[in-house]
Structure 1
Amino acid sequence: MTLYIETPLIESAAMSGAPGQSVWLKMEALQPTGSFKNRGIGFACEEYARRGARRFVAASGGNAGIAAAYAARRLGVPMLVVVPETTSARALELLRRERAEVIVHGASFQEAHAMATSLLGETDAFIHPFDDPLLWEGHASMIDEVARAGVKPDAVVLSVGGGGLLCGVVAGLRRNGWPRVPVIAVETEGADSLAQSIAAGERIVLPRIASIATSLGARQVAQQAFALSSEHPLRSVVVADSAAVDACIRFMDDHRVVVEPACGATLAVAYDASTAMKEFRNVLVIVCGGVTATVAQLRQWADRT
C-alpha cells in the first residue's frame, strides 16, 4: 500500500519567462490530502505501523496533521492530533473528516507539540510534521518520479517551513545522481527562520511567526535543513506575504488549482523569472499545495496585503 499518488509533472508556459527556459511543475497539490505531506508522513506511518505502533499522535493544525489522519484512517490505526487554538475551522473540519481525535490546546504550535508528546504511550508513534528521516525518505520519491519522466532539472524551487521538504528533495537529488543541482529555498517575511539562520551562521528561533503563510510557520528549522545550507548548493529567497498571495491567485487562474500562501511563496519566485531563476534552462518547481486556505480567504488576504 502507498498512501500517496504519483503526481503530474507539467510544463508551465505561464512561468517560462526567459528565452529557451522550461519550468516544470511537480503537482503535489493533487495528492489525496492536497499537499506533499502525503508522501513523507504516509511513508513514516506505514513504517511505524510495521514496527507495531498501535496509535499515531501528532501536533499540527494544518497539512501535516491532515496527512497523518488520512494515513491513519487508511491503515486502520487510531489517530490523535493536538492543535493550537489558532487552528482554523476548516482545518478542524478536515481533521475530523479523516476520523481523527482532536484536542485543542495552547496558543501556539509549541504548546500543542508539548501536549502531544506528553500524551505518548509505549505503543504510540509520534508523527513529526517535518523533522524525521523517514519523512525525508518519503518526500524524496517525488524526485524519483521526475527522473523517471526523463526531466533533469538545472535547479529546484521549493518552499521551506521546518525544512522537511528541503531535506527530502535533496535526498532525492542525491539518490538520482544529481547531488550538485541547486535548490532555491523560499520563505515569506516573518516565517524566514532558515534565511535568518543562514545570516546568523547558526540555527535561530524566531520570536514569533509574523506571516499569513502559517504552513511555513516553524520558528526553528530542522538541524538537517540548516546543515544543507552549507552542504548543498542552496540559495535562500524571502518574499512578501503579498507576493505569495498574488501568486496563489495567478496560479489559480493559470492552472485551476488552489494552493496556500506557503506554496505561493515558491510560485512568486517562479513567476518572477527575471531574478532567482533566470540563469537556469530547466527549472523544477515543487507545487507543495495546502488545503487550509480557501478561494474566499485568498481574496481577503489579497485585499489586505
Structure 2
Amino acid sequence: MTLHIETPLINSRALSLRTGRTVLLKLEGLQPGGSFKLRGVGFACEEHKHRGARRFVTASGGNAGYAVAYAGRELGIPVTVVVPQTTSERARALIRGEEAEVIVHGASFGESNDHALSILRDGDAYLHAFDDPLLWEGHATMVEEIARQTERPDLLVCSVGGGGLLAGVIEGLRRVGWSDIPVLAVETAGANSYDQALKAGEPVTLPKIQSVATSLGANKVTARIVTLAKEHQIRNCLVTDAEAIQGSVTLLEEHRLLSEPACGASVAALARVPEYFPDAQRIVVIACGGVGTTSQQLLEWSDFYRLECDPLTASHSDEVNSLESQQS
C-alpha cells in the first residue's frame, strides 16, 4: 500500500486535434497531495519513518511541502514546512490544513532551505524538495504506470523546476526498458535554471526567479539532471509565462483540470515538438498538477498575459502549411 494513487492516463482529444499528434495526459494533479510530488515524498517519508524519524522537516514553495504534510499526517509524524515569501496564501493554508507547522522565511527556495537545515534536531528527517534519490525512486513509479496503461510513446514531456520529476522520469524509463525514448524538459523563461546549467555544464545559481510559475522557481537544479543530459536524449525548451498560463487555461477549459502554470508549461511546449522532435507522433505529457493556483487567479493571469493566438493551433497550422507547400 502506498500513499500515492495510480493516476489515469487519458487521450486528450482537444490537444490531439490542435497539434495533429496523439497527445496523452498523465493526470498527476489527481494525487491526494494535488501533484506528482506525493510519489517521491510518500516513498521517502515511509522510509524515514521506518528508520525511526520523529519529525519531518522540509522547505518548499508549496507542492512538496503539501505532500510532506499529507504524508506526515497519514503516517502520524509531525511536520514542519519552511516556505519562501513567494508561496501563495492558498498553498500555506493547505499545508496548515494537513496539521503541519508552516514557517515563512526567505525570498527564495534557497533561503528557505537553508533555514530548514538550521532548525534540524535529533530525531528529525530532512526531506529535500527535489534533490534526493529516494524521491526519484518514488517519482519513477509514474512511468511504470504509463507502461501498463498504454503502448510505447515516441516522446515524454515534463516540466523542470529543481529536477526531481525529470530525474524520476528518466529512472522510470530505464526501469521499463524505454531508455531510448526522448524527453522534452520544459521551463519558463524567467525560471530557466536547467537551461543555464546545461549551457554551463554544471548547476548554476540564478540570481532571481522572474516567473509566475513559482513552482519552477528553484534557483539551482540538482546536479543529477545535468549528468542525465549526457546519458539520455533530453532537450530543454523555454516557454513564456503567457504560454504557460494558456496551457493551464487549456487544461481547465478542455479537461476541467485546475493546475499551476508550472504544469501548463508542459502543455504549452507541445507547440515546440515540431522543432525539437518532428517525428514524434505519440506523446505523453506529465500533467504534474499543483495546488498553489485558484481558478480566479488563473483567469486574472490569462487576462493580463494575453496571447494573440493559441500557439498550439498556430504551430499545427504552420506545420500543415509547410507540408502543403512542399507537396505543391
Which bracket does the TM-score occupy, shorter chain normalised? over 0.9
Are the counterparts in 1 of residues 19 and 270 from structure 2 also a CA contact under 8 Å? Answer: no
Are the counterparts in 1 of residues 202 and 223 from structure 2 also a CA contact under 8 Å? Answer: no
Give the aligned length.
305
Distance 1:20 1:293, change over 3 A: closer
The aligned counterpart of 1:80 is 80
Deviations 1:132-166 (A, max 9, x none): 00000000000111111242111100000000000
DSSP-derived class of the 1:16 partner = helix
User: TM-score of the superposition, structure 2-length normalised?
Assistant: 0.90
Cα deviation for residue 272 of structure 1 reads: 5.8
State the distance in 2 between where 1:47 and 1:91 align. 25
The aligned counterpart of 2:202 is 202
State the distance in 2 between where 1:110 and 1:195 align. 18
Structure 1 window deviating more from structure 2 (156-165 vs 81-90): it is: 81-90
Are the counterparts in 1 of residues 33 and 67 from structure 2 also a CA contact under 8 Å? Answer: yes
Distance 1:304 1:19, change over 3 A: closer
DSSP-derived class of the 1:235 partner = strand
State the distance in 2 between where 1:160 and 1:19 align. 22
Percent same amino acid among aligned pairs? 55
Cα deviation for residue 106 of structure 1 reads: 2.1
State the distance in 2 between where 1:195 and 1:272 align. 16
Are the counterparts in 2 of residues 18 and 274 from structure 1 also a CA contact under 8 Å? Answer: no
- Specify the code of the residue in structure 2 equivalent to 1:169: V
| Structure 1: unaligned runs, 5 residues or longer | none
The 5 A counterparts of 1:30-41 are: 30-41=30-41
State the distance in 2 between where 1:277 and 1:23 align. 14
Are the counterparts in 1 of residues 110 and 219 from structure 2 also a CA contact under 8 Å? Answer: no
Are the counterparts in 2 of residues 170 and 179 from structure 1 also a CA contact under 8 Å? Answer: yes
User: TM-score of the superposition, structure 1-length normalised?
Assistant: 0.96
State the distance in 2 between where 1:55 and 1:301 align. 37
Are the counterparts in 2 of residues 153 and 283 from structure 1 also a CA contact under 8 Å? Answer: yes
The aligned counterpart of 1:270 is 270
Structure 1 window deviating more from structure 2 (288-297 vs 271-280): it is: 271-280
Are the counterparts in 2 of residues 17 and 274 from structure 1 also a CA contact under 8 Å? Answer: no
- Specify the code of the residue in structure 1 equivalent to 2:50: R
State the distance in 1 between where 2:45 and 2:143 align. 20
The aligned counterpart of 1:133 is 133
Are the counterparts in 1 of residues 193 and 204 from structure 2 also a CA contact under 8 Å? Answer: yes
The aligned counterpart of 2:280 is 280
State the distance in 2 between where 1:159 and 1:34 align. 16
The aligned counterpart of 1:66 is 66
Structure 1 window deviating more from structure 2 (283-292 vs 143-152): it is: 143-152
**Greater radius of gyration (CA):** 2
Cα deviation for residue 186 of structure 1 reads: 0.4
DSSP-derived class of the 1:165 partner = helix
Cα deviation for residue 195 of structure 1 reads: 1.0
State the distance in 2 between where 1:72 and 1:261 align. 27
- Specify the code of the residue in structure 2 equivalent to 1:67: A
The aligned counterpart of 2:321 is none
| Structure 2: unaligned runs, 5 residues or longer | 306-328
DSSP-derived class of the 1:14 partner = helix
Cα deviation for residue 173 of structure 1 reads: 0.2
Deviations 1:188-231 (A, max 9, x none): 01101111221223322111101110000011110001111111
The 5 A counterparts of 1:161-200 are: 161-200=161-200
